[in-house]
Structure 1
Amino acid sequence: MTEDRTNLQWPRLATAIRAAREARGLTQFALAELADISESTVQNLEDPSRRPSRIPPSLAKVEPHLGWAAGSGSAILHGGEAAPTPPPHQSAADRAASKGTLRDKLPLRVVDELESDDPLLEAQVIQLPGAKGVRMTVVVHGQPDATPEQIQEALIAWRKAERNLHRLPDLDDEPKKANGA
């Protein structure tokens, strides 16, 4: 069963994407970098004259960077509104309990970083190659007084670093040392 696409509001979606991007202080290039898509893809999403034959997968990739909950783009296409990304909820008791747990398990300098008041820009759990079940957690903080442009630059720098982390070689892929060690 195929969806009736005749009533989809593509110009409305294009306008909403552009408005949300601009409200967050992002350029088309910056949004493309954050969503790991091409700048031309962002341009296409923002083009009100385009009427794709299907909902592009890139729509789901840009939603979180526009501050939208998953499925918001589709909701707009169908005449609804974008839902904001829900804030992470944690009770004071949960925070206190997790801080105690963190203090018991992690080095103090890591706990201090995690508990800092610096704005959280991104967090990622990355599976390490060649080590089944082993993962790395990365928390990216910004400066407390950062401008939107500085935050944008920091997020772009993180995306570049993230791509490199995902491309880490397996230990078996590393070149052998000349002395055989």
Structure 2
Amino acid sequence: MSRDWDRLARAVEEARNAKGLTQVGLAEAAGISESTVQNLESGDEKKRIPSTLPKVEQALGWAPGSGLAVLAGGEPTAIDSPVAADDMTGKLPLRIVQALGDGLLLDTKILDLEDDSGARMIVVVKGKQNATPEEIQRALLAWERTEAQLRSGGDAAAAG
């Protein structure tokens, strides 16, 4: 599977600009060198995933694994409010707290239910902690199929 380094470069640059950061500012926020940011934003193909990518994700407010998702053709997942998530852990069943802590965060989705109640479904998609880019791509494709089934009311599942 090929990785789309140009896509990642554009996503990092757009997110950096949206936060009002220069390359130096992002480097400082991530605790990495400016040349590392420049290299990442160059879009040049790399033989391996940079070890600094998780630091860049965190500095940009992306969930862990977002950079890999972008490389595989997906979108980064923004972390809305880490404090709010921490506050919720005491209110969730232990099995849910444990599942949220295990593995690599691949995506999240809030789906409005189609009724007048205003109810919503919150989906958290997790993958294996040390997943390869290929495994992440397969997991994201499986999630896309499942999301389509959820949105269609399960018709695709019944038909398949």
1:46 counterpart residue number: 41
1:61 to 44, 55, 59: 55
Deviation of 1:23 (Å): 0.3
Q: 1: CA distance between counterparts of 2:25 and 2:6?
A: 22
1:23 counterpart residue number: 18
- Quick check: 1:10 aligned with 2:5? yes
Q: Which runs of 5+ in 1 are unaligned?
A: 95-181
Report the AA paired with residue 56 of structure 2: V
Deviation of 1:22 (Å): 0.5
SS of the residue 1:46 aligns to:
helix
TM-score normalised by structure 2 residue count: 0.51
Deviation of 1:42 (Å): 0.2
Deviation of 1:65 (Å): 1.1
Q: 2: CA distance between counterparts of 1:65 and 1:85?
A: 11
1:72 to 57, 66, 76: 66
Q: 2: CA distance between counterparts of 1:24 and 1:73?
A: 17
Deviation of 1:15 (Å): 0.3
Q: 2: CA distance between counterparts of 1:22 and 1:57?
A: 22
Rg larger for: 1
Q: 1: CA distance between counterparts of 2:51 and 2:79?
A: 18
Deviation of 1:86 (Å): 4.2
Q: 2: CA distance between counterparts of 1:41 and 1:54?
A: 14
Report the AA paired with residue 61 of structure 2: G
Q: 2: CA distance between counterparts of 1:81 and 1:68?
A: 10
Instruction: Report how many residues are paired.
Output: 87
Report the AA paired with residue 72 of structure 2: H
Higher helix proportion = 2
Aligned-pair identity in percent equals 52
Q: 2: CA distance between counterparts of 1:85 and 1:44?
A: 24
User: Contact 1:64/1:70 (CA < 8 Å) preserved in 2?
Assistant: yes
Deviation of 1:34 (Å): 1.2
Q: Which runs of 5+ in 2 are unaligned?
A: 92-160
User: Contact 1:14/1:45 (CA < 8 Å) preserved in 2?
Assistant: yes
TM-score normalised by structure 1 residue count: 0.45
Q: Following TM superposition, where does structure 1 have runs of at least 4 consecutive aligned residues deviating by more than 6 angstroms?
A: none
